[in-house]
Structure 1
Amino acid sequence: MWAPDQRGYNLSDKLRGIRPYTIPVLAADVIGLLDAAGRAQAHLISHDWGAIVS
């Protein structure tokens, strides 16, 4: 089980502008985590802004 921070939250990098925080970019971050873990699919449980991304 993972509990990653979205970019800009907690200890993750705070990027400038709004483009790095668009839904397609944030969703690509999640896909990147799945790819790095070698997973083709996963169950997502989310809340707040994470729910929008998932």
Structure 2
Amino acid sequence: MANQGFRVWAPDQRGYNLSDKPEKVSDYDIRHLTKDIAGLIKASGREKATIVGHDWGGIVS
């Protein structure tokens, strides 16, 4: 699929694994989490993306 221009990213959400771990519960609001993903899409230089999420990432996606 990569030869067709697709990319696969598997980012950690805030608070997981080696990502930042904000202390306030409000920092984990769905609005912040979705903005994090939108920022990744913007950083990729793409205008749109197909998003698939698992577990809590399913809610965010």
- How far is the alpha carbon of 1:18 from its aligned partner? 1.0
Q: 2:49 maps to which residue?
A: 42
In the TM superposition, what is the alpha-carbon distance from 1:2 to its structure 2 partner? Answer: 0.4
Percent identity, please: 56
Residues matched between the structures, number: 54
Q: 1:35 is paired with a residue of what secondary structure?
A: helix
Structure 2 stretches of 5 or more lacking a match?
1-7
The structure 1 segments of at least 4 consecutive aligned residues displaced by more than 2 Å after TM superposition are none
Higher relative contact order (CA 8 A, sep 6+): 1
Are 1:5 and 2:12 counterparts? yes
Larger radius of gyration: 2
